[in-house]
A and B are shown apart, each in its own frame.
Chain A
């Protein structure tokens, strides 16, 4: 506890005079004429792919064709494998495809907000080989300022903005898709509200 007191005490003595927080005026942020188009363009540029669907029926068919006969699929929007939350890394590692709902999508950077509630197991969206995120078109917002207005980051124990598949350029600045997380990310955009 002495370390804590010493640190806080020195800070108290050394900190500068109080200054005010700025007002973040969201209307100063960039505006996009076509949010959906902007979203898709950025997503492609960061290595993701997308599919547009009209409704829930089309979604079910699309998911069926993505998963095919693969048994290594975890779809957290449907009935869950028993105690998915408690499954460990060894058991999750063979997951080929994970499918889950995204809450908010951001047009300026293609990021999608996903919380522990949608992923069920925190490791799932990272350890799977291919990730599929399903969003409603009307959940696309222009910028991060708008996104943080819509979400409550502290609503669950963990939440993440995911923008594209995992990547690295650590070897001579050559971009490689598929570092430690998924090798591919597909975003399914549903036009009519799908819960």
Chain B
């Protein structure tokens, strides 16, 4: 079983590519900053969003029932799925009833979480992902590496090679405009011929029984409005009480995600169009368990903007695949241990706890606090390498006691100055890909006492 550290080690072997990945995501983070600073009420918006979500979680069962009642009155068929398997079966049963063998799907991290594509393919159904980034990685038989920018790990040459193989584009033509146009022509055919479309849900409104889907490409709308059957899949935490609350979330979502003032399309689906079937699948898959964990429940406020990915120094330098899960990044590191504490016991450690994720989160999830708390749960509940357990115990012994701490600092500085080979060798994991710093002659405390007197 690969863990984050060893997968990240693979990723950073290519130093130039690591730097490129880091800079590309930092560029997105900077666009987010510019958009956020453009609104004097940004912090107020974050507070509102956080409070709306807190309130919703505290009355979630009522809002889900209100949504269901209104959706049914609107002519929507509502399904409930306790887990991924139930969700996948509901989708398959709808397909079977239609007697169709292919569908188009716009971006839905929930269906990634449930591994819907693999399941449907096993049943002989062709799934065409229609978000450009998702189509690229689907051709390459790879999962998305980022929840908003699925192909962010790829260079345009690689996309060009992939399209040359699957769409017969010119070999060596790396122009993004040319490649996007080729995908446009290819996917327009798929939209037109497909009778079933799956979309995700960004927000479901209890008050109206409708839901909102946000895209820039227009793929959710092309799929949903062309198809005879539209299936929208949502985690139950997507619910918000009122339509007026959409204003708060739509102002935050795209600005946090890509620095745009809003996505090109914010589509409000209320009723099926004449002659169309509209299904909504409401999925639990561990969410109700997470709701009961006081320390971790507010991770359910997440609106999947990925601002925490783009700002995270660990994500930027280790790539999405090092998290070996559908939702990577800091938010993935606090959501996934809830699904399987053993399989994802490494993820809460994939962080420096710098807190940048918490600072950019549009719904004020205390991500870095939860990472720290998960580390404690994981160390109790899951099998953690003995070296990590012993190391933590040793560090606790040092940091817990003034005398030990002072002595360790002194010894450390002396060793680094006089016996540098003891730390500058391959056995020391801190020396990998790093230069050790020059040891100062005195500690800050010593320096401070001396200078305070002077």
Chain A contact residues, CB within 8 Å of chain B:
3-4, 6-8, 10-22, 24, 28-30, 42, 46, 85-86, 88-90, 93, 106, 108-111, 116, 122-123, 126-127, 143-145, 147-149, 153-154, 156-174, 176, 178-182
Cα-based distance from A21 to B241 in the complex (angstroms): 9
Cα-based distance from A154 to B211 in the complex (angstroms): 10
Please judge, given known A-B contacts A28-B44, A181-B221, whether A159 and B268 are in contact too, CB under 8 Å.
Answer: yes
B192 and A13 contacting across the interface, CB-CB below 8 Å: no
Contact pick for A173, options B24, B57, B218, B225, CB 8 Å: B24
B188 and A180 contacting across the interface, CB-CB below 8 Å: yes
B268 and A171 contacting across the interface, CB-CB below 8 Å: no
A109 and B192 contacting across the interface, CB-CB below 8 Å: no
Please give, as numbers and ranges, the residues of chain A lying within 8 Å of B166 by CB-CB distance. Answer: none
B243 and A163 contacting across the interface, CB-CB below 8 Å: no
Residue of A nearest to B266 (CB): A161
A20 and B216 contacting across the interface, CB-CB below 8 Å: no
Please give, as numbers and ranges, the residues of chain A lying within 8 Å of B80 by CB-CB distance. Answer: 3-4, 7
Question: Is B51 close to A, CB under 8 A?
Answer: yes
Please give, as numbers and ranges, the residues of chain A lying within 8 Å of B59 by CB-CB distance. Answer: 15, 18
Question: Is B248 close to A, CB under 8 A?
Answer: yes
Cα-based distance from A13 to B24 in the complex (angstroms): 44
A85 and B274 contacting across the interface, CB-CB below 8 Å: yes
Cα-based distance from A12 to B62 in the complex (angstroms): 9
Please judge, given known A-B contacts A153-B270, A154-B210, A167-B216, whether A11 and B61 are in contact too, CB under 8 Å.
Answer: yes
Would you give the 0/1 interface string for B214-238, flagging 1 where the beta carbon is closer than 8 Å to chain A? 0011110110011000000000100
Q: 18 pairs across A/B with beta carbons < 8 Å?
A: A8-B64, A22-B48, A29-B41, A46-B260, A86-B275, A93-B188, A123-B221, A127-B226, A144-B246, A145-B247, A158-B270, A160-B268, A163-B262, A168-B217, A170-B132, A170-B180, A172-B24, A172-B156
Shortest C-beta distance, B264 to chain A (Å), equals 5
Please give, as numbers and ranges, the residues of chain A lying within 8 Å of B164 by CB-CB distance. Answer: none
Please give, as numbers and ranges, the residues of chain B lying within 8 Å of A126 by CB-CB distance. Answer: 218, 221-222, 225, 265
B151 and A170 contacting across the interface, CB-CB below 8 Å: yes
Binding-face segment, B3-11, B288-296, B376-384, B444-452? B288-296
A11 and B291 contacting across the interface, CB-CB below 8 Å: yes
B133 and A179 contacting across the interface, CB-CB below 8 Å: no
Residue total for B at the interface (Cβ-Cβ under 8 A):
95
Shortest C-beta distance, A96 to chain B (Å), equals 14
Please judge, given known A-B contacts A126-B221, A158-B270, A179-B132, whether A90 and B288 are in contact too, CB under 8 Å.
Answer: no
Shortest C-beta distance, A35 to chain B (Å), equals 15
Residues B36-95 near A (CB distance < 8 A):
39-41, 44, 47-48, 51-52, 54-55, 57-61, 64-65, 74, 80-82, 86
Please give, as numbers and ranges, the residues of chain A lying within 8 Å of B269 by CB-CB distance. Answer: 157-158
Please judge, given known A-B contacts A164-B264, A172-B155, whether A144 and B250 are in contact too, CB under 8 Å.
Answer: yes
B81 and A170 contacting across the interface, CB-CB below 8 Å: no
Residues B264-288 near A (CB distance < 8 A):
264-275, 282, 284, 288
B41 and A28 contacting across the interface, CB-CB below 8 Å: yes
Cα-based distance from A144 to B261 in the complex (angstroms): 11
Contact pick for A11, options B24, B60, B151, B266, CB 8 Å: B60
